Structure 1
Amino acid sequence: MFLEINSHNPQPRLIHKVVENLKKGGVVAYPTDTTYGIGCSIFNKKGLERIYLIKQRDRKKPFSFICADLSDITRYAKVSNYAYKVLKRLLPGPYTFVLDATTLVPALLLTKQRTVGIRIPDNEICLSIVKELGHPIVTTSANLSGEDPIGDPWQVEQQMGKLIDIVIDGGDLSADVSSVVSLIGDTPVVLRKGVGDVSWCE
């Protein structure tokens, strides 16, 4: 299914349609503040397995996930006072922050060090989905592992439309990625430079 949703003022009935699909175990493609992502509920083990197969991704590489807000992050990650100040200043935005996980995070999303990557993208569509769903969704770029991210929803539809349940058209996006920063401890460590400014880490 290909759904066109207004990126500035998402239609509630269409967001509801996506959320109902996710509740039934669906996998969807959606816009973020960087490029298009694919995901499912973080509690959908079969959905996670599907995404690994769709992306042809190494099972040793866990996925990040999208939270609705800062209070949501504190349910799934251990956030120090320093980390909280950073998150409050930079989110929503094009960052993935690595933090120690809480016991609420499913094992498939944990690294060996029991850390997680968490995002709050500056995009009304994906945040509306997460808020209505009531818990995070997996986020990984809508492309095969090793290939460039996709910013054109029609290209996502052509490449993955038969493999996933819904492709959301939220307009043309960049083919960029988020900056990944570890906030384990009180010294930030840049793990990947992307769209988000990381000069504050130096």
Structure 2
Amino acid sequence: MARYFEVHPDNPQTRTIRQIVDLVRGGGLIAYPTDSCFALGCQIGNRDGLDRIRRIRHLDERHHFTLVCHDFAQLGQFVRISNSVFRLVKACTPGSYTFILPATSEVPRRLMHPKKRTVGVRIPGHVAAQALVAELGEPLMSSTLLLPGQEEPMTRAGDIRQRLDHDLDAIVDAGECGTEPTTVVDLSQPEPVILRRGAGDPAPFE
């Protein structure tokens, strides 16, 4: 059964955040809130966690996983970003966007798109998500909590507990979170390509 953590939405309790992060560092898979619905998350090097996310969501090898970062300094370790793209991304973060960019050697190959060698990155605006990645000291390897056959992602911790209690190690409840997935923008090509329209305004990339 998954451990259930209640986190204050505006002032996350340090002790609780540390308990969750300790679980992640120990190989755990968590469901946690962001500014655009819940996500599944584990450490970057957690191969078993990656496989568990694939099983829960029925994903194939072409799925772009997302590195949820605390800030630009962290993001810059894992993707290559030009000055023009930097300005675009900077203007839209933190926020409900996922950006597809060329991965650096810091990213394990199993997280990259097998042909493009790209990876998704984002900097969320959600306080609890920010507290988790800040305490972890590295990005959370993440994927939207969208179950097979469902058109909308999961947005309530109680529902996640009911459906996935035996598939997860922890569920983080910080009250209300976003109800739409991120807007996904591929910035690995000369021109931006909007791959999914979601919570983030796509206008800056059109």
Task: Tell me if both proteins adopt one fold, taking TM over 0.5 as the criterion.
Answer: yes
- Give yes or no for the alignment of 1:17 onto 2:19: yes
Kept in 1: contact 2:32–2:172 (CA 8 A): yes
Taking structure 2 as the reference length, the TM-score comes to 0.94
Unaligned runs of 5+ in 2: none
Deviations 1:133-184 (A, max 9, x none): 1111122122323412011110011111211011010112343110011112
How far off is 1:59 after superposition? 3.2
Count of aligned pairs between the two proteins: 202
Instruction: Report which stretch shifted further, 57-66 or 84-93.
Output: 57-66
2:201 aligned with 1:197: yes
The answer to which of 56-65 and 190-199 deviates more is 56-65
Query: SS state of the match for residue 125, structure 2?
Result: coil
Report the equivalent of 1:59.
61
State the one-letter code of the partner of 2:155: G
* Alignment match of 1:37 (pick from 29, 36, 39): 39
**Contact 1:83 1:186 survives alignment (8 Å):** no
Structure 1: 5+ residue stretches without partners: none
Task: Tell me the SS of whatever aligns to 1:76.
Answer: coil
Identical aligned residues as a percent? 36
Alignment RMSD (CA, Å): 1.3
CA deviation digits over 1:77-117, x for unaligned, max 9? 00100111112111000000010000000111100200111
Give the alignment partner of residue 139 of structure 2, picking from 124, 136, 141: 136
**Aligned twin of 2:97:** 95
Partners of 1:20 and 1:173 in 2: how far apart? 23
Tell me what 1:172 maps to. Answer: 176
What TM-score comes out, normalization by structure 1 length? 0.95
> Structure 1 pair 104/146, CA: closer, same or farther in 2 (3 Å)?
farther
Amino acid at match of 2:76: T
Bigger shift: residues 8-17 or 173-182: 173-182
Residue 23 of structure 2 aligns to a residue whose secondary structure is helix
Q: 2:191 aligns with which of 179, 184, 187?
A: 187
